[in-house]
Structure 1
Amino acid sequence: NRNFILSTSDATVLHVATDGTSFEKVMEEAKQAVNAIACHPRQALLAVGSRCGLLKVWDYQQTTYLVSRIFPEAGVRCLSYDPEGYFLAAGFTDGSVYVLDAISLQSSCKEFKFSRGPVTHIGFSHDSEYLATADEKYAVTVYKRVRQNGSGCWEHLAGLYSHYKPIRSILFGVQLESDEPRLLSLGEDRQLVEYDLNSSSKDHLVVLHRDRVEQIAVPLCLAWYPQLSTESFILTANNCYKMKLYNTTTKMCRKTLLGPTYGSPLEKIQILPATSPADPQKRYLVYITKDKVGLQILPVDGNPHKSSAFICHPDGVSDLANSYDGRYVFTAGGNDCTVMKWEVNLNALDAAASLGGKDLTPFYNLLDDGREGEFFRELEDYFYYVQLRSHGIDTLETRQVSTRILLEEIPSVMRAMGFYPSEEKIEEMINEVKFSKYVDTGEQVTKINLGDFIKLYINHRPAFGLSMKEIQRAFQVLGYDNENGDKVIDRGDLLLLLQCRGEHMTEDELAQCLTTLLGSHAGGGGPELDTYDPSGAAALTEEEIPAEITAEIFAADILGLPIAEPENKNTK
């Protein structure tokens, strides 16, 4: 009789002898979700943690298992090596934090239990002086290193409930002038919080800055942008498929860019280590979405050919790590209990970007029907019309036609092209162009050409156009059910909301807009804004707007937007 190998449903492999009842455990793997992975900063080692409490370290070059430890009390939720690779910090589902020896996985100091919920993020500062965690109860906790008997350990410094929605990232950085550590946290509450570590004391974590980084979108991840220009940036990605660059000092939004659009927004981003000594400016970013892993060429500029993505875990990817030399990327699949190793092929991505065209070609292709289409010709017409308007329509003098328009005209042309930005978004767009050369030349830009306008339009407009669902969602929140069960807003309430909430309008601005919108429906052609007559605004509003307004009436009859016909409920 021959011996045989047996595998169980809970990921245990046994070697069974047929001549008796003896068996030998060959291998034991994760029985529950694998949510945490981390790569060693100097060696080919990968730490993998699972919800069943199993922590394993693998040599990913040799694909050999090195050491493991089981934590019976709780599951591993997040992992991080310190920059030197001496320690491995682990955050657990019961809120505990362990700092382990990176080789033996034995505890280097007593476990910490200062978090009231599962620890979701963990990381060391560049000098290992600080360790920070974020948890599901929206708290950031900081630990400071202390020297004991010649060896270093960490002790609890302070914690703070600095967000009121889930924390998406915590990030250590370096002060440019002093080499001191910086700590930032980013939450779904749209707040980017920076902490003053030097001024913080026992049980008192000091906030240095708190900045709202989004108006409507929800930020999902955060990274330090490589120094590819004179200015230093923080990079974020949001749930509207946009990537944004913020000045590291002022936190001013300096650029908004179209990010990768592969079915779901970016969930985590990491900058790959520089791989080309000959060209240090050649940098890449690796990211995960809900179920894909991908690469992006830096600098980000909105060109869709500069990114690629592959499905890595169909049921969802939970974590991401990249090797110290940038050659490999690892993804954890959560409930599928697997970790995938990906080899990075930068040449293939560079080739795809080259084939996508140079300069403005990739951006023309993102316009309806490209450069030869009606949309592009319409945009050119608006550019010339804006110049006519700025010179004065009623003149017979010879005009100087230019290929550039004043920055103040950007909102009008954007709206004419079917993109309706908020006032805050307009300010961001104008500042983006105005200060684009300021760091290098000290001068502000006052005009924009057609090519740069197209890039601005593509990077700022909604990635998938206007959605009726967004208007319907607003009516769900603001409206009430009428007799037919439809969500409606009372006409008076709507006018009041537009004047009192959000980026509210004055009564005169509202009357002017409604007269223009409703006048265009009633009279066939809308009046110029400068020819507005306030006297008939109230009567026109009552005549044209029903007492109860549905989302469809608001979109089609008031705003004049084309909307799809609702499906007949009786048709199948």
Structure 2
Amino acid sequence: MNENATNGSHKERDKSEEVYHQQRSLEITEQHIQLNVQNLGLSDEEKVQKTESVEVVKQEDLEGKAVDLSSVPHDESAAENESLVYTATPRTLFEEGDSPSTSNPLTLSWTFGMNKAIPVFNIQDEDHQVIVYACAQTAVIHDFSLNRQRHLQGHCSCISCMCVSEDRRWIATADRGPERQIIIWDSFSGIPVHTIFNSHPEGGVVAITMSQNAKYLATVGGGIVQCVRIWDWTTASREPICTAELDAQFGIQNYITFNPQEQTQLITNSETQVIFYLWNESSLEYFAPPLNNKTFNKLVGAFSQSVFDFGSVRALTGTSEGKLAVWETVVPKSVKAISSVKPHNKKALKLMHVQKDAITVLTVHDRYFVTGDVRGHVKFYDEQLELIHWYSDFNLAPIKSISLSKCAPVPASNKTKYPQDCSIKGNQFSISNFIVSTTDALVLHVLTDGTRLKKILQEPSEAVHAIACHPCKPHIAIGSYNGLLKVWDYKQRNSFISRIFGKGKRVKCLAYDPSGVIMAAGFTDGSIHILDTVTLEDELQEPLKYARGSITHINFSNDSQYLATADQEFTVTLFKRILQNDRADWENYGRYRSHYKPIKSLTFATQLDSKEPRLLSLGMDRILVEYDLANSKKDQLHVSSSDRIDQSAVPQYLVWYPPVTKESFMLVVNDQYKMKLYNSTTKMCRKTLLGPIFGSPIRKMEVLALQNHGVDKSYLAYMTDDKVGLQILPIDGNPHKSMTVICHPDGVSNLACSHDGCYIFTAGGDDCTVMMWKTNVQSLEAIASLGGSDLIPFYGMLEGGRDGELFKELENYFYYAQLRNQGINTMETRQVSTHIPLKEVPFIMRALGFYPSEQEVENMLNEIKFNEYVDSGKQVTHINLGDFLKLYINHRPAFGLCMGEIHHAFQVLGFACGKGEQSINRGELLELLQTKGEHLTEDELAEYFSTLLGVNPEGGSSELEKYDSAGISQLLEDLIPEDITADVFSGELLSLPVSANENEEQHP
């Protein structure tokens, strides 16, 4: 009961962190624009009147078309309290005074990369180039004129689709995560003005669009049964206006758009089916006309995108065969009144073969149809589908999106650089500038006056795992699986050098040497390139290649004389730097397969006495290996020690603990949410502490170097499966000394810290992005101080706190242990103390519901014994109540006793019985308990089982002395069933405080 209660406390903390963005967004967007009113200083009645007036203005104006709210008349006396949304202009977003707050411990400062699967939109005029694109769970508004970004953060999952209003004022983003949010943002101020939660409970949103007047949203769900829904986001309603469920035979509808001339009409398409819709306030009707290879006896191909014609009668759909399917409204002969015609009842009129290449993008601008294709061409067609102009010299990958500027082009009479169109007259083709994005994450700005191209973004198009920070300069190197290596000046926000490696060269890991002169790059093909950091040119004539699998870790020693790598085959390779003909070369010092499971950490350190380098590796096999560099030589890498550092937990990462204590430690985190300190010389576990509990264990960590910034304390940066966080050192198990934020919802692949500790970088792996986070340790210290000092945070981790039943139970056990130590039946005067002997610690732990193994007991006792040994040279023999409370909180399982672990053990050890459950035979179980792990003797088994099952309630072996060996065996057979299931083992035999019907996993 006590463990489950504590488990609930941890869950609450994790849940609060997970829904932070959702709650924050809800606070801001509740009644959407009303809560954006800056009404400080007004009375409650005035506040209500003010928010109501703003809401009425917004609803009335959006009935016709989207308007600039700053142009609406308002009460001058309340001008200083008006909503920022109300007064914002296109320049408001990047004004210095409106920059995002940096009062949080971690603030998103910059993003590198983009989601290439989501279109890029041009949202401001051509003189002030601003675009918006998706980056993991964040929408990024990027001003290239000012070289600044504004991040629209509110989603807890990666954005799945995005759209903008016709006037570029409103941005709508949606995701497919557990919360399934749709957020509408004001692009002028960056404020979320409305949020729709749980829009499509099954599968989230796969496509979204906004009506011409920006009043309505249309979404397509991603569930097994797809739903199309219409939303009026300008009201406080959280429900859709109307919904239609689609048949699975239509395929996955992944594109949707409104009719710009008539917002009651929509069109969606999958690769095989186009569907037309007509909606009103109560219903959404749809019609799915057939079109296949037999319709016109022509190959149709897969559908890409669809648009409505300049009127409301026709529609067009692009295909992978370079054709445009023309749809037209069907007018039955029996219909006499034109008002009776159903505009969504369309059929394929013709199939126009307009080009050879597959059409990937189809849009409408001004009086033209615009297409993009798989060869990177952009073409313009008139209303008769005659080719007017094309851009075919871009040498691009397949086009993903085309977004034309809303700013009208300068009349041709005033310009002479516009190209001629394809008409007989050869008129000048004056069209607005436009943005093109491609499937390889390239974004171009095309200036049609003179056909000038400006590359504004070239980002990784494949997974990003490799990042490394320069040891003394504000540089970050980013490598991706498409072979692109870029180095950024993260303070100036510009990329100053890049290199594209050959085909199949996928960058997996990077490392700068301590001097910052050279960089080592490890690739998935097992090769290693040594690069000059200024030119990115190879330092060696041929790359180093000794591994057959991917390089997973790469590191330089502190003196830059050694380079070590770990690969996918669990092997460590060591290279030593030598001078040959006045040229530096790297000599192979040998390979050693020192692990039988993946290597999680490879690190160099220095000897405490000689400052000579040390090399250690840590694997998922729980083995910590140290290599003998002094006695190793060419082709002979020796191992000096190999230690198993844990019993059941799987290590995740190792770092060298900073000198915040007199003793030198290594810090290891494991998958049981524990952080362990090991003596760097003896490898003894000296302290076990509860780590951050934010959904998943720590996967990687680095110590922040803040000594040059007037900060006395040390801090730890870490990443979990999807978050990045900060931890105050020294660690003590206080949960208030750590925090996290969601950074890459689909998974964090790597983490790096700047040389000055001011920034943390996270790589998102398959989301192809890197995020830069600004640190503010003063804010973290403030959060920790609010959580209380001394034992207050630890009281809060017990059920009921200091006044709860669990703490009272602990006090009773604590003082009972004193009586037990002095003798229960003694007649001597009792010596009341605030301490108990160390030998009583395991008994109290078990009484509280924590059942440590013998190794865990030894670790606990060693932790107490040697706590003051460095300072005093003496071992501690007693422990007080406060220290015991900390010991209990830090050592017990983070989420209590978990039935999932017991069921997993029976899945491994047992066999299927008649009821479909996994069971273990009694004899096999007793044999396992006596021969495997921390095995028990037969007498111990008899004593423990007889005590548990009530035969020997007082415990001890006195009641069992009358039994011989055969009698003990018979006793065990009588007490234990023949076949034992997980539920019988935990409930009937051990009486563990867990429910047989609970979920298999009690933690995220």
TM-score under structure 1 length normalisation: 0.95
Q: Is residue 390 of structure 1 aligned with residue 818 of structure 2?
A: no
The whole-number CA distance in structure 2 between the counterparts of 1:338 and 1:565 is 43
The whole-number CA distance in structure 1 between the counterparts of 2:849 and 2:944 is 16
Deviations 1:187-239 (A, max 9, x none): 00001111111211111110011111110000000100001121100000000
Tell me, what secondary structure is at the counterpart of 1:172? strand
The match for 1:217 is 649
CA 1:406–1:268 in structure 2 vs 1: closer, same or farther (change >3 Å)? same
Give the residue type in structure 1 aligned to 2:777: L
The match for 1:200 is 632
C-alpha deviation, 1:544, in angstroms: 3.1
Tell me, what secondary structure is at the counterpart of 1:426? helix
Match of 2:767 among 336, 344, 357: 336
C-alpha contact 1:41 1:84 (8 A) present in aligned 2: yes
C-alpha deviation, 1:542, in angstroms: 2.9
The aligned runs of 1:72-83 (5 Å cut-off) are 72=502, 73-83=504-514
Deviations 1:348-392 (A, max 9, x none): 110011111111111111112111111111111111111211222
Give the residue type in structure 1 aligned to 2:886: K
CA 1:567–1:98 in structure 2 vs 1: closer, same or farther (change >3 Å)? closer
Q: Which consecutive residues of structure 1, in runs of 5 or more, have no partner in the other structure?
A: none
The whole-number CA distance in structure 1 between the counterparts of 2:998 and 2:836 is 43
The match for 2:585 is 153
Give the residue type in structure 2 aligned to 1:251: K
The match for 1:99 is 530
C-alpha deviation, 1:155, in angstroms: 2.5
Deviations 1:405-435 (A, max 9, x none): 1111111110000000000110111011011
- CA RMSD in angstroms comes to 1.8
Q: Is residue 6 of structure 1 aligned with residue 433 of structure 2?
A: no
Q: Is residue 248 of structure 1 aligned with residue 675 of structure 2?
A: no
C-alpha contact 2:733 2:890 (8 A) present in aligned 1: yes
C-alpha contact 1:194 1:207 (8 A) present in aligned 2: yes
Match of 2:894 among 463, 481, 484: 463
Give the residue type in structure 1 aligned to 2:554: I
The whole-number CA distance in structure 1 between the counterparts of 2:763 and 2:644 is 31
Match of 2:955 among 505, 522, 528: 528
C-alpha deviation, 1:157, in angstroms: 1.8
C-alpha contact 1:516 1:532 (8 A) present in aligned 2: no
- Paired residues, number: 563
The match for 2:622 is 190
The whole-number CA distance in structure 2 between the counterparts of 1:483 and 1:277 is 67
CA 1:567–1:183 in structure 2 vs 1: closer, same or farther (change >3 Å)? closer
The match for 1:176 is 608
Deviations 1:503-559 (A, max 9, x none): 00011111110111111xx68xx2133644343754543333211111111111110
The match for 1:119 is 551
The match for 2:420 is none
Q: Is residue 489 of structure 1 aligned with residue 920 of structure 2?
A: yes
* Larger Rg, first or second structure (1 or 2): 2
The match for 1:303 is 734
CA 1:36–1:543 in structure 2 vs 1: closer, same or farther (change >3 Å)? same
CA 1:152–1:473 in structure 2 vs 1: closer, same or farther (change >3 Å)? same
Q: Is residue 547 of structure 1 aligned with residue 978 of structure 2?
A: yes
Deviations 1:447-466 (A, max 9, x none): 11111111111111000101
C-alpha deviation, 1:13, in angstroms: 2.1
C-alpha contact 2:471 2:512 (8 A) present in aligned 1: yes
Tell me, what secondary structure is at the counterpart of 2:987? helix
C-alpha contact 2:983 2:996 (8 A) present in aligned 1: no
Give the residue type in structure 2 aligned to 1:123: N
The match for 1:55 is 485
Q: Is residue 399 of structure 1 aligned with residue 852 of structure 2?
A: no
C-alpha deviation, 1:26, in angstroms: 4.8
CA 1:549–1:346 in structure 2 vs 1: closer, same or farther (change >3 Å)? same
The match for 2:500 is 70
The match for 1:319 is 750
Tell me, what secondary structure is at the counterpart of 2:563? strand
The match for 2:715 is 284
Give the residue type in structure 1 aligned to 2:523: F
Tell me, what secondary structure is at the counterpart of 2:992? coil
Match of 1:135 among 557, 567, 589: 567
The whole-number CA distance in structure 1 between the counterparts of 2:984 and 2:874 is 47
Give the residue type in structure 2 aligned to 1:158: G
Give the residue type in structure 1 aligned to 2:955: E
CA 1:505–1:171 in structure 2 vs 1: closer, same or farther (change >3 Å)? same
Give the residue type in structure 1 aligned to 2:860: M
Tell me, what secondary structure is at the counterpart of 1:471? helix
Give the residue type in structure 2 aligned to 1:471: I
C-alpha deviation, 1:147, in angstroms: 1.4
The whole-number CA distance in structure 1 between the counterparts of 2:839 and 2:583 is 61
Q: Which consecutive residues of structure 2, in runs of 5 or more, have no partner in the other structure?
A: 1-429, 1000-1004
The whole-number CA distance in structure 1 between the counterparts of 2:681 and 2:484 is 41
The whole-number CA distance in structure 2 between the counterparts of 1:396 and 1:528 is 23
TM-score under structure 2 length normalisation: 0.55
The match for 1:226 is 658
Q: Percent identity?
A: 58
Deviations 1:8-59 (A, max 9, x none): 1220123445478885655422110111111111111110000111000011
CA 1:165–1:567 in structure 2 vs 1: closer, same or farther (change >3 Å)? closer
Tell me, what secondary structure is at the counterpart of 1:529? coil
The whole-number CA distance in structure 2 between the counterparts of 1:103 and 1:92 is 20
Deviations 1:457-516 (A, max 9, x none): 111100010101111111111111112221111111111111111100011111110111
The whole-number CA distance in structure 2 between the counterparts of 1:561 and 1:453 is 23
The whole-number CA distance in structure 2 between the counterparts of 1:13 and 1:562 is 58
The match for 1:419 is 850
The whole-number CA distance in structure 1 between the counterparts of 2:923 and 2:989 is 15
C-alpha deviation, 1:152, in angstroms: 2.6
Give the residue type in structure 1 aligned to 2:571: A
Q: Is residue 475 of structure 1 aligned with residue 900 of structure 2?
A: no
CA 1:187–1:384 in structure 2 vs 1: closer, same or farther (change >3 Å)? same
The match for 1:46 is 476
The aligned runs of 1:237-276 (5 Å cut-off) are 237-275=669-707
Q: Is residue 31 of structure 1 aligned with residue 458 of structure 2?
A: no
C-alpha contact 1:515 1:532 (8 A) present in aligned 2: no
Match of 1:163 among 581, 595, 598: 595
The whole-number CA distance in structure 2 between the counterparts of 1:463 and 1:393 is 34
Give the residue type in structure 2 aligned to 1:408: K
The match for 2:804 is 373
CA 1:191–1:565 in structure 2 vs 1: closer, same or farther (change >3 Å)? closer
Tell me, what secondary structure is at the counterpart of 1:505? coil
C-alpha contact 2:897 2:993 (8 A) present in aligned 1: no
Indicate the larger mover: 165-174 or 20-29: 20-29
C-alpha contact 2:939 2:968 (8 A) present in aligned 1: no
